[in-house]
Amino acid sequence: MALLEIRNVTRRFGDFAAVDDVSLAIEAGEFFTLLGPSGCGKTTLLRMIAGFDLPDGGAIVLDGKDLAGDPPERRPVRTVFQSYALFPHMTVAGNVAFPLKMAKVGGAETDRQVWAALEGVQLAGKADRYPHELSGGQKQRVAIARALVTKPRVLLLDEPLAALDAKLREQLQLELINLQKDVGITFVYVTHDQTEALALSHRIAVMNHGRVEQLDEPSRIYGFPRTRFVADFIGHCNLFDGVVAASAPSGGGSLVDLDVAGLGRIRTLTQASVPAGSKGSVAVRPEKVRISSSVTQGADDNHCAGHIRDFLYMGDVTMYVVEATGGQRVEALLANSEAGRTKFFEAGDAVEAAWRFDAGHFIPG
Amino acid sequence: MRWKPRGGSMPGTSSPAEGAGVSASGARHPSWQARDRGTGRWLVSGPPLAYLLVFFAIPALIMVVASFTPPGEYGGLAPLFEDGKANLTLEAYERLAGDPIYWEVFAKSVVYAGITTLCCLVLAYPLAMLVARSPRKYRDLLMLLVILPFWSNFLIRVYAWMIILGPQSALSRAVNAVVEPLGFEPVSLLFSSFAVLVGLVYVHLPFMVLPLYANLEKHDPALLDAAQDLGANAWQRFWRVTFPLSLPGVWAGAALVFIPALGIFAIPDILGGTEDTLIGNLIKQQFLETRDWPFGSVLSIVLTAIALALAGLAAWVSRPRRTA
Amino acid sequence: MKRSWALYAAAVAGYLFLYVPLVIVVVYSFNDSRLNAEWVGFTFDWYRRLFANDEMIQAAVNSLAIAAVASLVSTVLGTMAGFAMHRYRSRLLPVLVLTPIAIPEILMGVSLLLFFVLLNFTLGIVSVTLAHIAFCIGFVAIVVRSRLAGMDESLTEAARDCGATPAQAFRLVTLPLIMPAVIAGALMAFTLSIDDFVITFFTAGAGTQTLPLQIYSMIKISVTPEVNAVSTLLMLLTLVLIVLASKLAPGALRTS
Ligand SMILES: Nc1ncnc2c1ncn2[C@@H]1O[C@H](COP(=O)(O)OP(=O)(O)OP(=O)(O)O)[C@@H](O)[C@H]1O
Ligand SMILES: [Mg+2]
């Protein structure tokens, strides 16, 4: 049985549903991420799990027990706030000791556990400092130590790294992964940063307008977005709309041929079976698209001729925008792995873009 | 399920949805607390609520009832119930409506309060502007200096003008040294309408400076630079940029000066002559001297109505609006 | 830059207008003359007389006692009111808390006079104290509420999250954080109470004197520099309290 179950939870503010019939099952020991654009209801959902807000419908069940009647202080759940919410009138040690005091842990035991928790986040030396004397990253670590010191069942983190600069964020991401592995506590992590979500999580729930659009492992979220929203929100994606011309069963799913305006017939894969004549799109990641100046036939099942319209040099990679002869735009991402400008194309160059049929992915609708 | 966390290199470059905003949870009203209608709420709001009901709301209600009661034989109020029926009358209201003398007192109070407000505005504006445009680190100190006199005893501040305007004071002597050779009667500065107005302005000035400063401080100095850049001279910059933007502060300050000035009785009492009777003096008279409580209550109710209407009006005019 | 000189001059004139009268009161309290007319010589005589004046001493004792009790009670009630106004959406409480401040003082004075007399409540120190509490609550509540509004709401949530009951969260986190505002509110209440004339005038009855009432009768009947002396002392006390309060809660004084 899942450790934390969100069952058909809804939260309305007036007519507006900030969280709309969301159901999730989060396993013990999992690093679970709620990912979505600003205002999609991530914080609202997290606050309901913590007990700061109550659902208008549905239930939140932890270890088989409905939490509805429990105020925040009685839930074995801790929150790491985006603003850190360290008590400014207490030292670092005082902050970390606070939950222990509330749990009526004895003096000597409190000291021991505070020390261990601070040790765990490499802050034992700063025990007597006050929060305003700490850097952003240190405050973040104290907040985590305070939340973990009483070994909650679930740790909720609301964009804990959003206020930090990019370098520090990367470092703390690694620390978070290791910390979670060490303590084995279930993390429910909220972010609107997809890179962070992909890097950290065991599973991701992509949310939009208060609903869960897709719940999957990071590689599947990235590789097989189920909806247009997910494909678009996670990284860059070429989305070609068209009508299914033919569909043949293949392996577990089916091989679909799609007529795309301005591009021609595109072959792609899907798990489900799709009837001919139905509408849908093909999602192809730009890094799966290869471009070359010569026409190549063969293994690549989809190819189209066109010319380079624009390109964006980004250092490690270059994004080319190819305009197919039919008018459709295709984005391709090429790694600048070699020295010199061997692979460079100029705007206006006639090229051919190609990708394997199994690199694409069919999204119905 | 494959539960191995991956870190480091990412497939492809994806532009993170940066700057999508921070959580709003800190700013919004915590709904779990707003929903808390239990004992905690009544434990916290109950005692102050009860106290103010007993010592503010009930006295106010009593006053409304008193205004409909006939006066007692020896002053005060007649019993509310007599011979088993309610003893209510509109006498006191009729008296107020029927006698223009009282309306003159109201009119005079409004005029005095109005002049006071205008004088305060003229005096307060440069003061507030100077503080608002001085370096940030001095602003708090300069504002404290404006507020401090307000916190000293009201009577002392009035008394100070008794000294300054008194017959033997340097000011009186100087004025009369000019006036007398010109063939006029020697003037008495004290116990005059002039003294009352000076006292009113002096006592209420900080109430005007505060909201003006609060408003002026928020003005973007770039607006003035822009106006200058567009060819406005100093005078135009003031009348076309600074002053219109400060209007909410002006209205708020006007309300803070006008309303208390309307009800004042001690300043005319101390600094004024016999003709300087304002509403406040009239009310005081009814309650303490003639002991006509119903009429005193009527006067108080009319004054309350005027004060609340003006406070509401000022709150409406100076409501926060979009400022560029 | 000509205009900024004009502004500067006008503002200096404003400050002079605010302070010269008070300075004159103080200076003449040391003047060796019965008349507040011109400087004759330095003396402490007026202060000596002040401390020999039993009525004045009694009035001062009354004022201090009233202010002490009124500020204590109104700080407790005002803090509760400020907290409740911040935390709960209530319509009645803000009206009851803020109206006494918004209307002319005389109205509260006469309505309380009616109230006490009709209840056959003897006018005196107790009625004055009860009245002072009623108008001080609002000032304390405003200061406390503005401090709470500036406080990060997630701190209270964090306390609850860490296992604190609502009462513990208030005692261990919220209260220590708003303490400067509470103390500033208490100092303000003390000052307002000790300086109050209008409401005291109506609720004190005939037999009870406070410092402001004493000053009033003195300046109505016979002006002597003794008034200057007591005024100077009172201003000194106020100055200390208010500077302290403004240190504890910057901006608190402006809210009133
Ligand atoms: N107390 C409230 N009252 C009214 N509307 C609210 C309240 N709380 C949240 N909302 C609305 O609900 C929606 C979801 O808010 P939420 O804070 O959960 O978004 P989020 O996904 O956390 O966004 P962000 O990434 O910006 O933090 C928003 O449109 C917000 O305006
Ligand atoms: Mg959020």
Average pLDDT for A215-233: 88
Q: Domain range holding A41? A: 4-232
User: Cβ-count burial of C66 within 10 angstroms (0-12 exposed, 13-18 middle, 19+ buried)?
Assistant: buried
Do A93 and A164 share a domain, yes or no? yes
Describe chain B by its helix, strand, coil percentages, rounded to 5.
Answer: 70, 0, 30
pLDDT at residue C223 is higher than 50: yes
Measured at the CA of C53, the angle between CA C48 and CA C55, to 5 degrees, comes to 155
pLDDT in tens, C172-215: 999 998 988 898 889 889 988 988 999 999 999 888 889 899 88
Contacts of C133 (CB under 8 A, 6+ apart): B51, B55, C69, C70, C73, C74, C77
Instruction: Return the CATH number at B192.
Output: 1.10.3720.10
Do the domain assignments include residue B184?
yes
The reply to whether ligand 1 has any atom less than 6 angstroms from the CB of B23 is: yes
Residue with tokens 């021609």: A264
| Cα of B22 from ligand 2 centre, angstroms | 6
Ligand 1 atom showing the smallest separation from residue A14 Cα: 4
| Structural domain ending residue among the three candidates A232, A255, A283 | A232
Domain that holds residue B230: 100-318
Q: A205 burial class (0-12, 13-18, 19+ CB within 10 angstroms)?
A: buried
- Give a yes or no: residue B36 inside a domain: no
- Quote the CA–CA distance of B237 and B248 in Å, as a whole number: 18
Q: Are residues A345 and A286 in the same domain?
A: yes
The ligand that comes nearest to the alpha carbon of residue B32 is 1
Q: What is the DSSP string of C119-151?
A: TTPPPSHHHHHHHHHHHHHHHHHHHHHHHHHTS
Which helix H or strand E contains A270, and what residues bound it? strand A264-270
Ligand that comes closest to the CA of residue A40:
1
Q: Are C193 and B67 in contact (CB under 8 A)?
A: no
Q: In this structure, are residues C199 and B154 in contact, taking their beta carbons and an 8 Å threshold? A: no
Strand partners, B91: none
pLDDT tens by residue, A77-108? 999 988 889 999 999 999 999 999 888 888 88
Contacts of C103 in chain B (CB under 8 A): 259, 263, 304, 307-308, 311
Does ligand 1 lie within 6 Å of residue A18's CB atom? yes
**Count: domains in chain B:** 1
pLDDT, tens digit, 9 for 90 and up, residues C75-90:
999 999 999 888 887 8
* Beta carbons of C165 and A89 less than 8 Å apart: no
Residue B280 lies in a domain: yes
Residue closest to A144 by CA, chosen among A155, A159, A133: A155
Domains detected in chain C: 43-255 (1.10.3720.10)
Ligand lying closest to the C-alpha of residue A36 = 1
Q: How many domains does chain A have?
A: 2
Residue C117 to residue B131, Cβ atoms within 8 A: no
Q: Are residues A196 and A321 in the same domain?
A: no
Same domain for A80 and A151, yes or no, is yes
Q: What pLDDT score does A246 carry?
A: 83
ipTM of the complex: 0.89
Residue of C nearest to B293 (CA): C114
The per-residue pLDDT for B8 is 35
Contact criterion met (CB below 8 Å) for A326 and A310: no
State residue B248's pLDDT score.
Answer: 84
Both A210 and A264 in a single domain? Answer: no
In a domain, B314, yes or no: yes
Q: How many CB pairs under 8 A join A and C?
A: 59
**Considering the domain boundaries, does residue B86 fall inside one?**
no
The size of chain B, in residues, is 324
Chain pair B-C, CB pairs under 8 angstroms: 266
| Burial of residue A256, with CB atoms counted within 10 A of its CB: 0-12 exposed, 13-18 middle, 19 or more buried | buried
Residue pair A234/A222 in contact by the 8 Å Cβ criterion? yes
State which residues of chain B have pLDDT below 50: 1-35, 323-324
Closest residue to C154, CB basis, from A71, A77, A81:
A81
Specify burial of residue B118 (Cβ count, 10 A radius: 0-12, 13-18, 19+): middle
Q: Which amino acid is at A339?
A: A
Task: Write out pLDDT tens, residues C114-143.
Answer: 999 988 888 889 999 999 999 999 989 988
Give the closest residue (by CA) to ligand 1 atom 31: A39
CB contact under 8 A, C103 and B263: yes
CA distance C149 to chain A (A): 15
Say how far apart CA B149 and CA B167 lie, in whole Å: 25
CATH number at residue A253: 2.40.50.100
- Both tokens of C192, joined, read 């307002």
Ligand 2 midpoint to CA B23 (Å): 4
Closest atom of ligand 1 to B25 CA is: 17
